[in-house]
Structure 1
Amino acid sequence: MAVIFSASRERAKDGVGASALASTIRGMTGQVRKTDICGMRRLFQTARVCLAGTALSGLAGAAWAQERVVPAAKLFTSSEVIFSSLAVGAIAAALLSTIWLVRQKGTLEAESQEMRGALSDAHRKISKYEALIADKNRRIVVWEAGPSRPEFLGQLPPETGAPLEDRDFLAFGKWMRPHSAVELERAVESLRSSGHTFDLVVETQRDEILEVQGRVSGGKAFVRFIALNNLRAELAELKIERERLVSSINLFESLLDALEQPVWRRDADGTLAWVNHAYGEAVEAATPSQAIQEAREFLGTIAREQIRAVATPTSPFHDRLSTVVRGNRTVFDVVDVVGIAGSAGMAIDVSEAESIRAELDRTLKSHAETLDHLATPVAIFDKNQRLQFYNQAFVRLWDLDLGFLESRPDHNELLDKLRSQNKLPEQLNWRNWKESVLSVYRALDTQTNRWHLPNGQTLQVIATAHPQGGATWVFENLTEQVDLETRYNTLVKVQGETIDHLAEGVAVFGPDGRIRLSNPAFRALWGITEEQTKPGTHIKAIEAACALEYEKPDGWRLFGQMLTNFDDERPSLQGTFELHSGIVLDYAVIPLPNAQTMLTFVNMTDSARAERALKEKNEALRKADELKNDFVQHVSYELRSPLTNIIGFTDLLKTTGIGPLNERQAEYVDHISTSSAVLLTIVNDILDLATVDAGIMELNYADVDLDDLLDDVAMQIADRLNENSVMLEIVAPRGMGAIVADQQRLKQILIKLITNAANFAPEGSTITLSSWRNGLDFFFSVADKGPGIPEDMLPTVFDRFSSGKGGKRTGAGLGLSIVESFVNLHKGEVKIESKPGQGTTVTCRIPSAITARSVAAE
């Protein structure tokens, strides 16, 4: 039966059913009747083939055997039997196939039911596992073997800062601490590539702690992120903190180990617990461990006892101690701090610093001794502007009491003391001048000023600020230098003018044979141009140019030899030339300093007259120079000192301490005081003009507020206006701004103009001071209603010692001259307008300087 089922199953697979088999058999029966015996044999063979593998095959075989032995008469009856058997077999086979199919269907249904049950159980288990995995405090990332997309299970609490989106979760650097992100990325890479498991504790950027576990199972990589509860989180935090502290301690120990200064740490019993390499080298140990094991002490017993007695947890020990290192006594700056678990200390070698400090003290002392022997006065002030050092020359210059100097006065007090003793320059505005002097303590650059003292001395004051505060003041006496400069400048001007206006031809050559200078007379005598004799031209070229005027060139060749020879002695030479034009020239070769040589050519036709004129001119210039120098010297040294004494004693007589004066005596004293003041003003004016003429007048440029300037001028001139019974009217718009000029000289200009106007203004009249601005130019105008100036006298009003007639006072005639000099120094100009009977108006234009600076008069 098993074979039948198998055959039926095989035929069912091939698409041959029971109905098809029956149809074949019926067809075959119809054909048997029409065939012969051979055909029946073939039919039986075919039936055997068709029924092969079934039970009917045996029946067919038996029928075939019977057919071979029975007679032919019985053939048809046997065939009917055979075919009936075949039909019954086919029906039985179909029935058996149906029964097998029904039974197989039941088996399949049972197996399907069993599989559905198993699948349901698997779904329930998966749901249970997912419920367990998908905890809010846990997230799992799963990677398949090889390149694959990760699978995410579960979520982490939002307070951890972990992203909810899967694509952002693996970007650890965005939500973890940098060190944690780097460490985790390396661990995950090693897990996926090599299967190395790991257990980490990481920190998020919100300071939350996560436990991360990496495992491999079934060819898959699992990384589990677990948000810890309070106890585990605290434990993890303590673990991280411990690792951080251990890392910090190791880092600090590495740092201290790299220092060149000995460092040590002791336990609570005072035993060495750790030292660095510098400590080991200092105690001559091979390694720091050897120094600890052998308890080699860096400091002596007394020093250690001193540290133990002094150091407390709130007050560390800090002092300088000496010890022996490598056989040398060395000074160390020792710091030792005490804590609960012991103490720690550090020693810094300050032996070199001590030696440098001692050397610095010796250097400063040496410098002080050197400065004390200098002839130039020097004073040093500290950052509080108090006198710190002064030399003997400073004491001699200012003649101050040593007790006062030893009290270390501040600079402000020192200036007030010098002013009270009339040892500082006269200033119209003392406060502003003092502030300008003391501004060096706030300046970055060295300041240089010139002080013209009342005793006639001229000081070059050099003030240099110190980087740490304070300043050094050097007072250089330039009295002789100023006098020499004045003489030198006058001499240079006189020489230049003299040479250019000489009738003699003059040419100066250097040691290289090139011309340095020549005058117009030289060029005119030889008929050459200025271009041919420009400085730097060689004497050969000049010889060629002059050859047309002189038929014998031997003289110029001799000049060239004398200019360029190397003889120790350079002799002078004189002779005469006769030119083609008939002019006879008397020449002279004169050696000059610095290996220079001067050639002079004189037209002998008018030699006597020219010589006499030149001598007279030179003599007049020399006498004028001597006269002016003698006059300035007498004014400086002979008049200022007596005038100062007269004014001082006059003021003393006015005081009540001397005794009362009668009315006439008081009147005489007032006349003396007034005359002395006028005389002092004249002397000062003369000195100012002499300073301007010498070319050493300096302008101290600064920002000057016009409103303050006009108010200050009005206050200072008030007494003089009251004496002359006139009033002053100031016409100026408010807010004109500031002018960059010399405030003192500007104030002198206005006071001189107003004083001059007051001298000629009628009593009870008004003097008008007007001021206005046009761009960077400032205009000052002083107008009076006096008698006016005749037209023929207008060109001489600015001449020195030219005083007009008709005024209340007769002065030296220097006021307008000083005004013109000071205005010219400011690069301005002054104009005067006057008509007889209509008053006088003087207008000054003064441009504002672009930058504040000091400029010497030229």
Structure 2
Amino acid sequence: MELSPTIIALLGLLLAAWTVGAAWLMISAGAKAKGAESTRKAARRMARLLDEAPAIPLLVRADGRIEGSDRLAHWLGFDALPQFLSELADADDRGLTKAQLSELSEKVRRAQKSAAPFRMNITVPGSQRSLALRGTLADPQVSPGGAALVWVFDFSESATELSRMREESARAKGDFAALVGLIEAAPMPMWFRGTDTRLRLVNSAYVEAVGAESAEGVVEGQVELIESVDGLSAAQVAGQAVQHKQSVERIVQATIGGERRALRVSDLPLGEEGVAGYAVDIQEMEEQARAHRAYAKAQRNMLDRLSVGVAQFDAERKLTFANQPFRRIFNMRLGGLADGLPFERLLSEARDAGRTPEVRDFPAWRQEHVEWFASGETQEEAWPLSDGTHLRIVAQPMPDGGLAIIAEDRTEQLALSATRDTLLRTRTATLDSLFEALAVFAPDGHLQLWNRSFASTWGVEAETLDEHPLVDTMLEEIAGNLAKPKHIKRVGEVIRTATLDRNETGSRVALADGRTLEFAGVPLPDGNGLLTTLDVTANEQAETALRERNQALEQADQVKTRFLANMSYEFRTPLTSIGGFAELLESGVAGELSPQGREYVQAILDSVGRLTEQVENVLDLSQSEAGLLPLRKEKLELQPFVTQVVREREAEIEAKGLSLDLRGGANIKVEADRRQLARAVGHLLDNAIVATDRGGKILVDLAKKPEGTRIVLSDNGAGMSSEELRRALEGLRISEDGEGIERRQGLGIPLARQLIEAHGGDLTIQSQTGLGTSATILLP
């Protein structure tokens, strides 16, 4: 079958069109293949970017399906990401906790329904990974149907760093609060200045120190605690500390609480922040330092006054102090102390001066003594020197590593010890040579010491005493020798009183052989008691004779008393009778008398008066010497009393033309016998009138003194020599032959003295020839 040209043409056209179409399809397919490859490369690049991105997307569809990368699965602890959101909480403790999943599901549901974005932070259980979730409604182009897109951020490092920073911040805040509290509670003033050296912060101690009301007031008023020193204020000193970038410390005086106190002030630069400062009150430390220096000085002054040598060495074995006795003992040079003399050199120089013992190996001996510094124990040695001196050396280690050396010169003590031994032997020999029987008892009752006479006096065997028996044992031996054995208690009581009670007592006992022993217990300074015994048999006999003689004297005194009473009657009765008869004759009872008879009668009356007075004086003097003078004491106003005594002698004073001056304060009272005291003062006044020439002066002075009432009678008469005054004070006395009475200067002065002494007073008379006499009466 032949095809027509038209069909062939159509077929050619069809083939051409098909070829063209095929070519176009091939070209189009190649272009699309290139576009697809580019898309795949872009998709892989985007997927890689998402994998490397710090956030991973998690797509949650409306049905709960989830889409995400494997990296997110690894963050959540899964090998592969589950298909549904509810599976993120795995039963194998992988993924989220139920609480986290519940919260996430709720937030996703809310975002899907209301398109509300949400934020959530979770920490994957079992790991330190912290994830931040940022969720929102997904774009329809990403996922239609109301899916939620959750971006997951891994901020583990940021969370760790943030947690660390929070902890550090909290710790810093706590430290700052504690530091502020510490500064505020500090007992010392503290402050902070800015770079401009102005106060910015002060504590309460600073506020109290400056006497302000608040810290704000201090900062606002820039109240400084420290005063300006050498023209520099506290702020300027702080500025210097900031400028030189080093702390400044100084000791200044400040007024705190109205008192001047010593403060150690420190300014500490704090870089660019400013400068801090604080002040420490060192007033007590300064006072203690002064007290310590004063104590050390006083101690060294005291050591210089000791008789014992004392030297102090420091931890470097150098001499720091040596008192005068130490220097004298070791013949030290004056410059040795100033040079810090080493201990080894001191020993060497002491050896050269002959002040150390002679030893064979001196270097070894010196090294042994150097080891005293490290021994830690007290060392004591005796150093006999070549010149006969004996030293006692004591080395006392000190807490600071030093050493104190005490050197005592015991030469005199050893000599005294030898002398003591000699004295003990001498004492023993002396005791043995005494007539008294002596024994010394200790407080425990043992016999310690006795002499030879003790055994023979008390009749005790010497062998018994050699055993130093107790008091009870010795008393049993003595009791058999007494006339009355029960009197042995007296001996024991005397020994006990002397040894234990430390009192001195005594007694007597009679022995069976007729002897009488007198014994006494005497406490000794060493605590022992001394029993001293004396045979007083002869004294007893003499005492008996004296007792009998005393009885005879007492009887004679009674006879004398009766004699004085009789003599008082026998003297006064005749005189009274003579005076009475003479007065009768004068009155004319026996007739009128001639003028000559009247003169005779008047002479009789005058004589009777004088004799009566003399008899009264003699009797009073005798009674006073015998202690029998009766006194009737009463309260007397002294000035009126003496005035009356003077007026009784007014006629005699005017007759001689004498002037009498009576002085004395009022209200002076004494307790005395009016009659006897008037007689005593009258006798002294009579003597002054007699002894004073015409126109003379007599002074009577009354005064109240601390020691008593004083009456002074003085005149400017002829006066008396010392011999005449002695004889006047004696008055009457027994003549040398013993058969009569020798009259001296009368009875006035002796009687006045006896009367005043009977009142408990005292009479003192001073006289000088040509100047007069002064009599002083002192009454209690």
Give yes or no for TM over 0.5: no
Bigger-Rg structure (1/2): 2
TM-score of the superposed pair, with normalisation by structure 1: 0.40
TM-score of the superposed pair, with normalisation by structure 2: 0.43
Higher RCO (Cα < 8 Å, 6 or more apart): 1
